[in-house]
């Protein structure tokens, strides 16, 4: 049995096979590969694309999806080991994961960080506890990384660029009125590195550099393929010669739990918005973003609606890569009685 927690646990060759399978699913949309299979989709946070694409993908494969929102239609869950459960939670993740494993063939979980202590959030404990107690594959719907988004991004770039090796991938921080999750930024960094790009991270100050786990992984992945990882705070340097501009906003890790101190820095960098002038500096780059996207805050209307914008294609490709992923996980895994 294999989980899909982070693409760091999967080789490029394995991910290439999933992308090839995704292209087949894109050509042939209704294939009865999950008939009789049931998948629990557990959402602790809101979603448009993830929920819709998983529900529809499972339907198109002949399976059945059960959507659960703990604390909102399903019982609130306790995650602390050894807790005296005299608070709001009605049941422990150990029972939740083991019971769902008796009903379902896979459990998929979305659980964003709490944004108070990064040292705590970086443990990814909600997903980790589901994986510890489940006896079926567990799939990450976005926690501190967003691996399904990574696959969709790579399928989309492959479709437009052909090979990704040796091309320049710019991951640019953008302004947002709230400090957001670093998950998609972590993911973009590691998947671009794994797929042979020269990767540049553009962010306002060194405090916006991503967690060492992902920076180190990206550095190691790029260097092992003769590529580079560059960090810059200079907009012109970042955009120069880029083949892909990927935009995302995130909160600076040193400011977790004291966001009022981070706000002035973020406000001072509204000019990191992706606009046509910046895109002019690139090598006719493609633009993308995971969505949802605040127009004219993160990127201008002109960029989001441009022919070089892949935001809708990338969102569509979530459907195809996830179908490939689910069939891969279920063909590799055998359900184990607990
Ligand atoms: N990109 C993404 O995961 O979108 P949702 O938050 O709408 O699921």
Q: Which atom of ligand 1 is nearest to the CA of 45?
A: 6
Say if ligand 1 is within 6 A of residue 291 CB: yes
Banded model confidence at residue 338, pLDDT cuts 50, 70, 90: very low
123 within 8 A of 155, measured Cβ to Cβ: no
305 alpha carbon, distance to own chain's centre: 23
Question: Residue 12 CB: number of other CB atoms within 10 A?
Answer: 15
CA atoms of 29 and 57, how far apart (whole Å) = 9
Higher pLDDT, residue 194 or 337: 194
**Mean pLDDT along residues 16-21:** 98
Q: 167 CA distance to ligand 1 centroid (A)?
A: 26
What spatial distance separates the first Cα and last Cα of the chain, rounded to whole Å?
14
Rg, the chain, Cα only: 20
Q: 225 CA distance to ligand 1 centroid (A)?
A: 31
144 within 8 A of 128, measured Cβ to Cβ: no
Say if ligand 1 is within 6 A of residue 142 CB: yes
Peptide bond into 40 cis (omega under 30): no
Q: Which atom of ligand 1 is nearest to the CA of 110?
A: 8
Q: Tell me what pLDDT residue 73 has.
A: 93
Banded model confidence at residue 336, pLDDT cuts 50, 70, 90: very low
Say if ligand 1 is within 6 A of residue 49 CB: yes
Q: pLDDT tens-digit profile of 34-60?
A: 999 999 999 999 999 999 999 999 999
Q: Tell me what pLDDT residue 179 has.
A: 95
Q: Which CATH number fits domain 7-145+318-331: 3.40.50.720, 3.40.50.1370, 3.10.20.600, 3.40.50.300?
A: 3.40.50.1370
CA angle centred on 189, ends 20 and 118, rounded to 5°: 125
Banded model confidence at residue 120, pLDDT cuts 50, 70, 90: very high
Q: Which CATH number fits domain 148-314: 3.40.50.300, 3.40.50.1370, 3.40.50.800, 3.10.180.10?
A: 3.40.50.1370
- Give kind and range of the element (H or E) at residue 244: strand 244-248
Q: 3 CA distance to ligand 1 centroid (A)?
A: 20
CA nearest ligand 1 atom 7, residue: 48
Burial 51-89 (b: 16+ CB within 10 A, else e): bebbbebbebbebbbbbbebeeebeebbbeeeeeeeeeb
Q: 142 CA distance to ligand 1 centroid (A)?
A: 8
**Mean pLDDT along residues 191-212:** 98
Q: pLDDT tens-digit profile of 62-110?
A: 999 999 999 999 999 999 999 999 999 999 999 999 999 999 999 999 9
Say if ligand 1 is within 6 A of residue 110 CB: no
Q: Give the largest CA-CA distance in the chain.
A: 59
**Mean pLDDT along residues 292-306:** 98
**Mean pLDDT along residues 210-233:** 98
Q: Which atom of ligand 1 is nearest to the CA of 315?
A: 1
Q: Is the dihedral of CA 314, 316, 319, 320 positive or negative?
A: negative
Mean pLDDT of the chain: 97
Q: Tell me what pLDDT residue 337 has.
A: 38
Check whether 334 has a pLDDT greater than 80.
no
Q: Tell me what pLDDT residue 269 has.
A: 98
Q: 85 CA distance to ligand 1 centroid (A)?
A: 32
Segments making up each domain of the chain, as ranges? 7-145+318-331, 148-314
Q: Tell me what pLDDT residue 147 has.
A: 98
User: Same CATH topology for 7-145+318-331 and 148-314?
Assistant: yes
Say if ligand 1 is within 6 A of residue 288 CB: no
Check whether 332 has a pLDDT greater than 90.
no
């Amino acid at each position: 049995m294999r989980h899909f927690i982070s693409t760091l646990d999967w080789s490029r060759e394995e991910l290439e096979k999933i992308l090839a399978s995704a292209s087949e699913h894109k050509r042939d949309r209704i294939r009865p590969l999950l008939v009789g299979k049931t998948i629990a989709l557990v959402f602790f946070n809101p979603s448009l694309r993830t929920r819709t694409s998983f529900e529809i993908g499972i339907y198109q494969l002949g399976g059945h999806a059960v959507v659960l929102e703990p604390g909102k239609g399903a019982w609130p869950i306790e995650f602390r080991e050894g807790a005296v459960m005299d608070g709001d939670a009605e049941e422990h993740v150990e029972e939740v994961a083991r019971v769902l494993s008796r009903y379902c063939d896979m459990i998929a979980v979305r659980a964003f960080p709490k944004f108070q202590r990064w040292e705590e959030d970086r443990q990814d404990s909600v997903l980790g506890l589901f994986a510890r107690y489940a006896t079926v594959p567990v799939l990450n719907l976005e926690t501190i990384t967003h691996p399904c988004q990574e696959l969709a991004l790579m399928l989309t770039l492959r479709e437009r660029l052909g090979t990704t090796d040796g091309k320049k991938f710019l991951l640019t921080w953008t302004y947002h009125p709230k400090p957001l999750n670093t998950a998609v930024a972590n993911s973009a960094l590691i998947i671009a590195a794994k797929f042979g790009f020269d990767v540049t991270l553009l962010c306002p100050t060194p405090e916006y550099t991503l967690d060492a786990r992902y920076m180190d992984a990206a550095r190691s992945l790029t260097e092992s393929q003769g590529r580079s990882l560059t960090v810059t705070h200079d907009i012109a340097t970042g955009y120069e010669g880029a083949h892909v501009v990927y935009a995302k906003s995130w909160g600076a890790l040193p400011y977790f739990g004291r966001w009022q101190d981070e706000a002035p820095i973020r406000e001072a960098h509204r000019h990191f918005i992706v606009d046509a002038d910046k895109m002019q500096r690139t090598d006719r780059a493609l633009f993308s973003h995971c969505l949802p996207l605040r127009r004219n805050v993160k990127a201008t209307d002109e960029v989001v609606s441009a022919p070089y914008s892949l935001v809708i294609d990338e969102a569509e490709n979530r459907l195809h890569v996830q179908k490939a992923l689910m069939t891969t996980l279920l063909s590799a895994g055998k359900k184990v009685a607990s």
